[in-house]
Amino acid sequence: MSQLEKACGACQACCVVLKIQTPQLRKKAGVPCPHLEQKGCGIYDNRPPVCRAFLCGWRLLPEQDASWRPDLSGVMLLRLAENQISKTYRAAGPGWVFVILDGEKAFTPRLGQFIAQMIKRRTAVFLSAMTPRIQINEQLEVSVAAGDIDGIVRILQQTHALLLPARAPSGFGRIWALYQAQVDRMRAIMEQRRK
């Protein structure tokens, strides 16, 4: 499906998930936009440039069909420009952040297969639980090489669970959760390298 064939429809994920700090609109991540109404954007025809220009990964990636729309799949993809990712992964193009909106919907073999394809291409892959992102390429490399889709999904679920406490707006709880997620990531990488 092309960008033109994809319509946001009832999906309002970007209107809630994203942090926006522009002169025209300011909102915190995870907080609904003040212009969001039950039917959608209350100022759609006059929405700010940041909203007009934004396209989530579902809209940008032609290989994702209608079932990947964020409100249906439980995952929203955000594109990261090459200058926002490690030089190790820049040759593969932009990086992608998988923001988990609904773990019940998101963690499926289909998601595992899609992420495995990206990792095989050396694309930078990040996971977020509406929190700061954490890169997961190295954690998943052994499972991807083995074709272990269940293992990939299990690692995604474990990493997501570690990120959930980081949803706290600020303070020690958020810092501790991010630290724990990073320690677990490094532990998994070290264990995989020993195998």
Would you list the DSSP string of 80-118? Answer: E-GGGS-GGGGGG--EEEEEES-HHHH-SHHHHHHHHHH
> 40 and 108 in one domain?
no
Rounded Cα–Cα distance for residues 57 and 52 (Å): 15
Give pTM, 2 decimals: 0.85
Predicted confidence at residue 4, as pLDDT, reads 67
Proportion of the chain above pLDDT 70, given as a percent: 84
- Average pLDDT for the chain: 88
> 80 and 46 in one domain?
no
Q: Which domain holds residue 48?
A: 1-64
> 81 and 27 in one domain?
no
Taking residues 172-187, what's their average pLDDT? 65
pLDDT in tens, 24-63: 999 988 889 999 998 889 998 999 999 999 999 999 999 9
> 123 and 60 in one domain?
no
Residue 69 lies in a domain: no
> 23 and 82 in one domain?
no
> 78 and 51 in one domain?
no
Predicted confidence at residue 131, as pLDDT, reads 75
Residue 169 lies in a domain: yes
Using pLDDT thresholds of 50, 70 and 90, give the confidence band for residue 168. low
Number of domains the chain is built from? 2
Bridge partner list, 127: 98, 134
Report the half-sphere exposure of 33 (CA within 13 A, side-chain side). 26
> 35 and 91 in one domain?
no
Q: Is residue 152 scored above 80 in pLDDT?
A: yes
> 132 and 36 in one domain?
no
Q: Is residue 180 scored above 80 in pLDDT?
A: no
| Domain closes at, from 41, 64, 87 | 64
Q: Is residue 190 scored above 90 in pLDDT?
A: no
Residue 90 lies in a domain: yes
Residue 110 lies in a domain: yes
Predicted confidence at residue 162, as pLDDT, reads 83
Residue 194 lies in a domain: yes
**Among 21-30, 99-108, 179-188, where is mean pLDDT lowest?**
179-188
Taking residues 137-161, what's their average pLDDT? 94
